[in-house]
A and B are shown apart, each in its own frame.
Chain A
């Protein structure tokens, strides 16, 4: 189950074949982390709008050939809407940073779906690679209908009932991009996504502010940000304690005490040695941690055991008393590279309803070079 043999599971998780499409309700958000080996390809199906249409956000396309067939399947099942002219089907597409394992499939996606994209985010770091040059040319050709944005920490975009906050890159890093004095990974756009973002209830002819603190679902998509970037994030988004100062108390009341906490965590940089430390894990405090990599080995040797141990320790503190950690899947750690006796578990999808109903984790049993087949879906049986 785990790609790291030193943490082989003592109990295998149970997966049950089921109807993925039928399991999704209109108000659910669906987050996908596709199995593309050592790379990222994320798709977020937004909750349906009042008219029943559903749009999507794409975060990285680290491999060509994987996303287009999935989008077609989703349109066939009506999970992704067939809008009249496809306009604004993708209100936001993010190329977190211009490494091949994050944007090598972006030119293909832009060629096929560029007409349906409203806004493109990228960090503003020039790269000599072919994928970067091709992506920029397609964005140039799409001008002016695709809004081009280079967000930095604090940038916030509301898309329907979903709130997207950029955690990194910090302005301090952004200012140094042109000097190439920043590791390209540290230019990564990390995002915190929250839904429902609605704060006002409409009651006939009047409106009432609704405090939703602690009652929303949250995802933190860590891209490939490394420790220099996370150090800036911890400064920009500190944990607030109301007893410290009146200002902290006021901010906490308005925005909540933990700007980084997230229920679902796409672990940064495929759990490389420098992608994560214990402090970041504790600040996020995830229930689910998702790792995109081929498992041990591969081109990059991801994930790194030191990082996995930091993640495990951050989720379950056992080092001081010498107890072994629980199995990864019981700690909520899931790998795109994971396998079970039936074969690869493959791409991950999370069906996330607004609070009140249980979220479900689905797998699709695809290898990195295979398309996602929705009929092969199976979900984790949670006891």
Chain B
């Protein structure tokens, strides 16, 4: 394929010209972008930038970025814990919320993006760091048990390690002065209590870390063994 035939080249040139017009670029820059370099010199900086300069110190930087979505590794899908009534769609909008620590009347709550599971059933979180928020234990407990907030009939008692799923307004997590943030400000109903499946995942992670996992055949052999064998 020749340069003239390159379908993207002409479009890029057109995009650059339109951007220069919209932003009121000086004529010499428009000439550079149109390929009429006039008296400017062009130098590449790295693999993302071309710098045009001309006598007198005029300068224009043209930056090119290629952005592509990283496909999830094969086998990774969003975690869907059973028996907690999570919605059929929109799991990716939920946050994984853990009561990390309770000091006196306050809980320190850790908020992460909703995890995926890998091909071994392990929870995989994104690289974004977890966010922290301080909340009154009583206020948080009352809020998540409100009939218009909680999902399901069972009441939730919060303790260290309790885990919730909900949409979180992350911009409202900071109390500014470090004081507790009212749950209604950042926690969007409905709130799902996922403590039981989250603890099961923690237990799985722990035992898989300390000893090799068993195969189905090994488990069947163990289960079939007579109790007094």
- Interface residues of chain A, those whose CB is within 8 Å of chain B, are 64, 99-101, 104, 124, 126-134, 136-137, 139-140, 143, 148, 150, 180, 183-185, 272-273, 297-301
Contacts and interface: CB of A to CB of B under 8 A. Distances in A.
B136 interface: no
19 contacts: A99-B100, A99-B101, A100-B108, A126-B205, A128-B161, A129-B130, A130-B96, A130-B125, A131-B130, A133-B123, A133-B205, A134-B125, A136-B209, A137-B205, A180-B159, A299-B132, A299-B134, A300-B103, A301-B103
Contacts of A299: 108, 132, 134, 178
B199 A126 contact: yes
A215 to B, nearest CB: 39
Interface string B127-144: 001101010000000000
A136 B123 CA distance: 11
A130 B115 contact: yes
Nearest to A141: B209
Contacts of B206: 124, 126, 136
Contact of A300 (B101, B123, B205): B101
A184 B115 contact: no
A128 B196 CA distance: 10
A273 B102 CA distance: 13
A196 B219 CA distance: 48
B129 A100 contact: no
A92 B100 CA distance: 25
Considering residues B103, B104, B110, B112, which has the most beta carbons from chain A within 10 angstroms of its beta carbon?
A: B103
A95 to B, nearest CB: 11
Given A140-B209, A300-B103, A127 B130 contact: no
A125 B209 CA distance: 13
A128 B134 contact: no
B33 interface: no
Contacts of B203: 126
Interface of B: 96, 98, 100-101, 103-104, 106, 108, 110, 112, 115, 122-123, 125, 129-130, 132, 134, 159-163, 177-178, 195, 198-199, 201-203, 205-206, 208-210, 212
B15 to A, nearest CB: 37
Contacts of B103: 272, 300-301
Contacts of A64: 129
> SS class of chain B's interface: helix, strand, loop or mixed?
mixed
B180 to A, nearest CB: 10
B209 A128 contact: no
Nearest to B180: A299
A136 B125 contact: no
B188 to A, nearest CB: 20
A152 to B, nearest CB: 15
Given A133-B125, A299-B108, A128 B98 contact: yes
A94 B123 CA distance: 23
Given A101-B101, A104-B129, 4 more contacts: A132-B202, A143-B212, A272-B103, A299-B178
4 closest A-B pairs by beta carbon, nearest first, are A136-B205, A128-B198, A136-B209, A126-B202
Contacts of B129: 64, 104
Contact of A137 (B100, B101, B195, B209): B209
A129 B159 contact: no
Contacts of B195: 128
Contact of B130 (A128, A130, A184, A297): A130
Nearest to A138: B209
Nearest to A144: B212
Given A64-B129, A184-B101, A297-B178, A130 B209 contact: no
A104 B202 CA distance: 15
B101 A133 contact: no
A183 B160 CA distance: 8
A4 to B, nearest CB: 16
B191 to A, nearest CB: 16
Nearest to A38: B108
B112 to A, nearest CB: 5
Considering residues A99, A124, A137, A148, which has the most beta carbons from chain B within 10 angstroms of its beta carbon?
A: A137
B106 to A, nearest CB: 8
Contacts of A104: 129-130
Contacts of A133: 122-123, 125, 201-202, 205
B125 A128 contact: no
Contacts of A300: 101, 103, 106, 108, 134
A316 to B, nearest CB: 28
B130 A180 contact: no
